[in-house]
Structure 1
Amino acid sequence: MTAWLIRAGREARYASDWFANGYIAIYWQLNDLDIAGAARQEVRDMVDAIYADSSQQARAMITGQVHRFGSVMQTGDDVVTYSPEERLYHIGSVTGGCIIEDTTGDDEHDSRYSRPVIWRTVASRDKLADTSKNSLGTIATLSQIGDDVFADLTAAAGTSDDSPSAPAQAADNETTDDDETRRITANEGIEKIKDRIVALSWEDMESLVAGLLRAMGYRTTLTSKGGDQGRDVIASPDGLGLTSPRIIVEVKHRGNPMGAPAVRSFIGGLHDSDKGLYVSTGGFTKEALYEAERARVPVTLLNLDQFARVFVDNYETTDLETSALLPLTRIYWPA
């Protein structure tokens, strides 16, 4: 049995639909070629014809991904895909062959190649060994997972598998184009930054949020612990809260999503002239998001993924105290 890692589009945009409707897919347009029955050379010829303007690297990458999805992947194989907002690897089993589906109405794709999947369980990224996290950071859209990494995933999910996956095989020396590599590398960097944020203490997390606001031009005050009434940080242009806008910040540094009652209570403590910022590394329920949308005052909710991206965008202006909590390194890429 083989285990596969498959990416659900850029920033996992298709993941929620995959999980809700039980499938995985790739989205390259190949004139309805039956990739389940096509030889690799036939796939390559079609890719070369349709994507003639793409680089040789990009065409080789597409050919390899399509061939693996259509011909190498088999019913009964394990599949894994990552949801960055949840920080969960979803694990399932392929239950059927590759088919082409009409997706008329999709803004980007007229069709897709898909396979049915039963999603069985999830594994938290926070429970994985660093070596597994690094291995799962591959830039490929579709790649095999080694048996040691898949064993770590199943252990993190609290499941066992008596039929271990096959060792990962090389991807025929194929590479992807620079733009795709740069994008995926940047997203993997965000995941590693999120790993570091999760490991912070709650005190350091509150300080990190305050530091982000200072980097954005505000002066901040950390409230005393105990009886803070949902106010962990107060930010304003003058540092005293006398000049608008005054931002009241609640920080929750835990694994579980915050629900509507917590967000409702936070909103209830805000004055009409305040603006609210609620940071939760465990995310928010749909009901909590709705509470923020209908609040009488402006309220912004930031989950872990959103906070990490805002922090990266403002890192160059962070002070020494903040950068010491979460030091980052700039990576340069050829233009």
Structure 2
Amino acid sequence: MSRDKIKAIYVSAHPTESKQKVAANVGQVCRFAHSMERGSTVVMYDPAERLYHIGTIDGPCMPVPNPEAITYTQTVNWGETAPRDALTPASRNSLGSIQTIFAVSDEVMSDLHAAVNGNPPPATSPANDESSDDEESLAATYDNGIELIKDRVNQLDWEDMERLVAGLLKAMGYCARVMPKGPDGGKDVVASPDALGLESPRIIAEVKHRKGAIGAPAVRSFIGGLRTSDRGLYVSTGGFTKEARYEADRANIPVRLLDLDAFVRHYVEAYDKVDDETRSILPLTRIWWPA
């Protein structure tokens, strides 16, 4: 099947999934069906034995009779094994536990074959340097993850972005709802401590999902529409100018500006409390790191 046909069948079977999840899963199916050809080398990980199994595809992608689902299989001749501990740290980080289908680089494949042949891994850093290296690697991994999440947020449409802001406020303990579009500009999301919206402080959020930075006039107009008892939240994935931030700082009503980086970091911190509907818009996976 073509990618479009696979996508159509997948969407019909999973109509509630987000566009991002559909794209990711359809991509996995397409790689299995079309990129993995006869003669291709395949690497699969056994976490119980901490071994990477290396094999060669020995047949076409074939359907398997299954009345409940569309199932395909590929025959693989498994031969060599490479212990994970014999790989370089870079190769271990690249391969991970192989939860998805991805292309393995030539450097990593060379490392795998070296491990198969029993060649020792490169010498590691002294023990007293490992903690520092781990801290640096952890910081680099976290920052890289933040950048990948920001890339994903930029792919959302404006409606999903508004729902994402509402979901973040819910995770922070507020009752939040996306407001219908109408003449009442500047109120994309409204949140309050109670479900009826009668208790203070009430948070009025405006969400701008675009590349250009928000300037002072837009922030000034937003502040002008707030009541004395309101609190303002302005989210702009395109960022803010210095003048816009100055307008927020000197406002008589508390106003918080969140650019893309700040929003994503708040979302990551609150993710454990985010509801399923919001997670479907921007799903994340926790990475465990040795202490």
TM-score with structure 2 setting the length: 0.55
Q: Does 1:251 align with 2:251?
A: no
Find the residue that maps to 2:287 and give its secondary structure.
Answer: coil
Out of 267, 284, 287, the residue aligned to residue 223 of structure 2 is: 267
Larger % of helix: which? 2
**Would you say the 8 A contact 1:221–1:239 is kept in 2?**
no
The total of aligned residue pairs comes to 166
Is 2:139 the counterpart of 1:192?
no
Q: Which residue does 2:53 correspond to in 1?
A: none
Q: Which of 237, 245, 248 is equivalent to 1:281?
A: 237
Counterpart of 2:115 in structure 1 is none
Q: Aligned partners of 1:316 and 1:201: how far apart in 2? A: 24
- Counterparts of 1:181-260 in structure 2, within 5 Å, are 181-260=137-216
Instruction: Write the letter of the residue equivalent to 1:271.
Output: R
Q: Output one character per residue of 1:206-244: Cα deviation in whole Å (capped at 9) or x when no partner.
A: 000000000000001211113232000000011322101
RMSD: 1.9
Q: Which has the larger radius of gyration?
A: 2
Q: TM-score, normalised by structure 1?
A: 0.48
1:1-335 correspondence to structure 2 within 5 Å: 177-335=133-291
Match for residue 34 of structure 2? none
Structure 1 portions without partners, runs of 5+: 1-130, 136-171
* Cα pair 1:284 1:303 within 8 Å, conserved: yes
Partners of 1:251 and 1:279 within 8 A in 2: yes
Higher relative contact order (CA 8 A, sep 6+): 1
SS at match of 1:311: helix
1:111-150 per-position Cα deviation (integer Å, ceiling 9, x unaligned): xxxxxxxxxxxxxxxxxxxx9xxx9xxxxxxxxxxxxxxx
Q: CA deviation at 1:174?
A: 8.6
Deviations 1:179-226 (A, max 9, x none): 000001100000000001000000000000000000000001211113
What code does the residue aligned with 1:330 have? R
- For the residue of structure 2 that corresponds to 1:206, the secondary structure is helix
CA–CA distance in structure 1, aligned partners of residues 270 and 212 of structure 2: 27
Q: Provide the C-alpha distance between the structure 2 equivalents of 1:262 and 1:239, rounded to a whole number of angstroms.
A: 29
SS of 1:177's equivalent? helix
Structure 2 CA distance for partners of 1:254 and 1:174, relative to 1, 3 Å: farther
| Code of the aligned partner of 1:303 | D
Give the distance between the partners of 1:258 and 1:270, measured in 2 at CA: 18
Partner residue in 1 for 2:65: none
> Quick check: 1:235–1:248 contact (8 Å CA) kept in 2?
yes
Larger mean CA deviation between 196-205 and 174-183 belongs to: 174-183
Matches of 1:222 and 1:230, distance apart in 2: 12
Report the identity percentage.
Answer: 63
Structure 2 portions without partners, runs of 5+: 1-101, 106-121, 126-131
Partner Cα separation in structure 2 for residue 295 and residue 284 of structure 1: 16
Moved over 2 A (4+): 172-176
Q: Which amino acid aligns with 1:317?
A: K
Alpha-carbon distance in structure 2 between the residues aligned to 1:290 and 1:240: 33
Partner Cα distance (1:241, 1:286) in 2 = 33
